[in-house]
Structure 1
Amino acid sequence: MDIFATAPMAHATGARHQGDAAHRVLSQDNFGQAIGEITQWDGYSPTPLVSLSALAAKIGVGEIHYKHEGPRFGLGSFKALGGAYAALRVLQRELSSRLGKDVTLADIRNGDYSDDCAKITLVSATDGNHGRSLAWGCKRFGAPCRIYIHAEVSEGRAQAMRELGADVIRIEGDYDDSVDLARAEAEQNGWFVVSDTSWPGYSEPPRDVMAGYSVMTREACEALGDAPTHVFLQGGVGGLAASVAAKLRQYWGDQSPRVVIVEPDMAACLYESARKDAPTAVNIEVETIMAGLSCGEPSEMAWDILREEATDYVTIPDSVVGPTMRLLARPLRDDPVVEAGESAVAGLAALIAAQAGTTGATLGLDSTSRVLLIGSEGITDPEIFAAVMAEDSNV
């Protein structure tokens, strides 16, 4: 565990503003509608919540519960819940407007409006998983799909989206540049952006994306029985973290766990937002291996929730990612084998590093702590996974 003990971690304390964002920004109705729809989809089944008892004992916490999203709808990621559902909601709103009548989600899902859907193009920028979910949803619902990716997105992830029927446009620059181009070309051509990040005047699709993620959180809560003491949540633009934090608050109330946000030190926009107590963009100079978390600008809608719910913000270096992936794939004693992608292990990597160093005490971790982790993806790029597995473990 030497690599974790020496890993540099930065910590910022959340200001914890008082408010009702966990109920107002994402309401119980938002979550309820998403859960009611997605659980009707062909292929739906809850993903595993696995217990890492041996690892918990080794690092000195009571319990580690890892929500493994690798099996989700065969797409390998929790993003399957968000992009596809948001696409369905965009189609519902647009068809209802064009046809002058209420069009239901079930009508679109069942193919009643496939000819009309074929005239509505949906677009988004992605690091991989959100775009794959959107492409999958568009294929199911019959809508054309354009996905914008930046220079560092792997070809394996690009090909997975093409195989689902999406037109994939690779650009020079980073994730935020791809977001800007997707918005500009959609406006020029009358297309509809389905993004997981919000900006002034654009909120409904990202709200639907975050509502879709609640399926995962509800499954975890029902499987746990008792409220966890801590939840470690990946950063990115903040959509995953905000959705999970809001659903946990609605489900557990005053027993809701301490929320720790985890980001790569090379893309720490939420950490900087916490330090400045305001949404803060950062320049990404070098891409992190945690591709899904390589985001320089927070979602303002997500920040509204996190500024009230998140207690702590930590950053981790790329050096702990590979060892954590290998630790899951080659587990201690009787812990289950979990094959996880680079972004999936951020929370676990931060937990191990915190306990190996001095940050654990700062986060209030001890032998009684019950920690919930969101394993946000499985093997979404087999070549990258194989390369990581081939490296020396050093743990």
Structure 2
Amino acid sequence: MPATDGNHGRSVAHGAELVGARAAIFVHAGVSDERVAAIARFGAEMIRVAGSYDDSVKGAARVANERNWTIVSDTSWPGYERIPGLVMQGYTALVREALRQMPAPPTHVFIQSGVGGIAAAVAGHLAIVLGERRPVFTVVDPARVACLFETARAGHPVTVPHGEPTVMAMLECHEPSLVAWRILSRVADAFMTVDEEDAVAVMRRLANPIGTDPAVVAGESGGVGLAGFLKAVADREVKAALSMGPESRIFLVNTEGATDPGKYQEILGLSPEDVVSRGAA
């Protein structure tokens, strides 16, 4: 059982179905009905709690302790680190697959962060396999919920206050994973934030590509790494600080498709199917 904004819970529910196990998934008040339904289709018991993602994490931990259930979380806290570490190891599969398909390793990586799990997994794995050739690694947070940005600024894990919700719902986390921060504090080179309009702009850009570029369905949180790159490359000082130039090779990860198709169409005026068919054409 985990707590989820939508993505991790869906993968756990699917995995449980594959092995014949039961899954109970905690979701908070801000998780849309479409995302809940997508998880429930795998047979999971859905438990909605009041409050934020962090409240659902605490609720899941409390119930797991009461009922002797196993938490399969993508975030960690004092005394609970092994399973989140295994989840992060799973994320490295996408890095290995990407490296096999690249003619040369990336020079720069921009990747979005919620609690920091996938960012830390990608950064840590690339640092291990590439060594001195490792890319410059930039972590990108939503400006409204910048828990890793503020943690990096403070030099230790911090909890950011609750405020206005962000459209980047999968990244709306107010405190970092301890395991993730332990890695990022050693291997990340920069931390930055992007605004709401930046996230929407890259959704639109990916859905409406230029020239022969393929159309990509990216949810509200999926293209945030691209938003960070575009913001960085447009700022002369930031671009220079990150040593980006004409020969740079940028690696990005789309971490979310249209997990809420209704919301996706509301934002872009296009359904995910419209975008996919456009890319096929």
TM range (shorter): over 0.9
- Structure 1: gaps (5+ residues): 1-122
Shift of 1:151: 0.9
- Aligned equivalent of 2:257: 378
Per-residue CA shift, 1:226-264, capped at 9, x if unaligned?
121100011111110110011111221110100100000
Instruction: Provide the rounded CA distance (Å) in 2 between the counterparts of 1:229 and 1:163.
Output: 40
- Greater shift, 222-231 or 173-182, is seen at 222-231
- Greater shift, 248-257 or 125-134, is seen at 248-257
Pairing of 1:343-358 with structure 2 (within 5 A) = 343-358=221-236
Shift of 1:317: 0.6
1:143 paired residue among 21, 30, 34:
21
Q: One-letter code of the match for 1:303?
A: W
Q: One-letter code of the match for 1:390?
A: G
Give the 4+ runs in structure 1 shifted more than 6 A.
Answer: none
- Secondary structure, counterpart of 2:144 in structure 1: coil
1:191 paired residue among 65, 69, 75:
69
Instruction: Provide the rounded CA distance (Å) in 1 between the counterparts of 2:49 and 2:42.
Output: 20
Is 1:168 matched with 2:36?
no
- Aligned equivalent of 1:269: 147
Shift of 1:142: 1.3
| Identity across matched positions, percent | 44
Which protein has the larger Cα radius of gyration, Structure 1 or Structure 2?
1
Instruction: Number of aligned residue pairs: give it.
Output: 269
- Aligned equivalent of 1:310: 188
Instruction: Provide the rounded CA distance (Å) in 2 between the counterparts of 1:274 and 1:285.
Output: 20
Is 1:227 matched with 2:105?
yes
Tell me the TM-score normalised to structure 1 length: 0.67
Is 1:290 matched with 2:168?
yes
Pick 1 or 2: higher relative contact order, CA cutoff 8 A, min separation 6: 1
Q: Is the 8 A contact 1:320 1:349 kept in 2?
A: yes
Task: Give the CA RMSD over aligned residues.
Answer: 1.2
- Aligned equivalent of 2:273: none
Q: Is the 8 A contact 1:124 1:194 kept in 2?
A: yes
Q: One-letter code of the match for 1:365?
A: M
- Aligned equivalent of 1:110: none
- Secondary structure, counterpart of 1:266 in structure 2: helix
Instruction: Provide the rounded CA distance (Å) in 2 between the counterparts of 1:169 and 1:385.
Output: 24
Per-residue CA shift, 1:324-368, capped at 9, x if unaligned?
111111101111111111111101011112222343233222222
Q: One-letter code of the match for 2:68?
A: G
Tell me the TM-score normalised to structure 2 length: 0.93
Q: One-letter code of the match for 1:189?
A: R
- Secondary structure, counterpart of 2:2 in structure 1: strand
Pairing of 1:1-395 with structure 2 (within 5 A) = 123-358=1-236, 359-390=238-269
Instruction: Provide the rounded CA distance (Å) in 2 between the counterparts of 1:339 and 1:282.
Output: 30
Q: Is the 8 A contact 1:138 1:144 kept in 2?
A: yes
Instruction: Provide the rounded CA distance (Å) in 2 between the counterparts of 1:364 and 1:288.
Output: 30
- Secondary structure, counterpart of 2:165 in structure 1: coil
Q: Is the 8 A contact 1:351 1:360 kept in 2?
A: no
Shift of 1:312: 0.2
